[in-house]
Amino acid sequence: MPLVDWGRREYGAALEEMRRLRRERRAGRIGDTLILVEHPPVVTVGVEGDDGAAAATGLPVVRVERGGKATYHGPGQLVGYAVVDLEPRGRDVRRFVHGLEELVVRALTPWSLPANRVPGRRGVWIDGCRKIASVGIAVEEWVTFHGFALNVSTDLGMFARFRPCGFSGEVMTSMERELERPVPLDAVRTEVARAWAELFEPGSELPPLGAAPLPGPGT
């Protein structure tokens, strides 16, 4: 399945292009696609809104159609936007979100980080209490867009300016904080691409949801 790297791109321009690609996917003119990108500092607010603190961060704030509340994007964070047609995947939104979380968990495997899902909490967590990646999608006409944001060398102080995903900013962590050493973003891109191929190539099977109750898509 196609994987494209946009490098660093302003959030507004990336958002419009992602929406265009969703329409292209619905029309069958492109295949399922994962977009990798970094953004200059920005706060995005999903359909669940926030407590108003995002506007006080001094950063640009963009309201979007993905699930969840407010989160931060910035340099050192690898963002993955998944444009995927769920029609041939049984229209199973929750299983797809679980698949994105599993993608991040697998991408972190080479660094031996204790990453996993937490029942009832969206995203990927370290030791069940520190959030290293947020996940939030939108679905229109059964085609997904938006996706995940993995903190590699992100300035975690930015999260302290508001309540990311409704939590205290102190809950957020990064690969570099956990490992206490630099992590090359290109190496993480490579592992994300590998996990994407494992989970989303034609003929691949997403892992089952399991018995744990899952909320709807959100950050």
Q: Which residues are annotated as catalytic?
A: 165
Q: How far is CA 65 from CA 2, 90, 134, 146, in A?
A: 24, 22, 15, 9
Residues in the chain, how many?
219
DSSP collapsed to 3 states, 152-173 = CCCCHHHHHHCCHHHCCHHHEC
| Distance from C-alpha of 54 to C-alpha of 29, rounded to nearest angstrom | 37
Residue with tokens 């969703």: 22
Instruction: List the one residue out of 21, 123, 139, 33 whose CA is nearest residue 91.
Output: 139
| Distance from C-alpha of 67 to C-alpha of 136, rounded to nearest angstrom | 5
Instruction: List the one residue out of 190, 211, 215 whose CA is nearest residue 106.
Output: 190
Count CA within 13 A, CB hemisphere, residue 162. Answer: 26
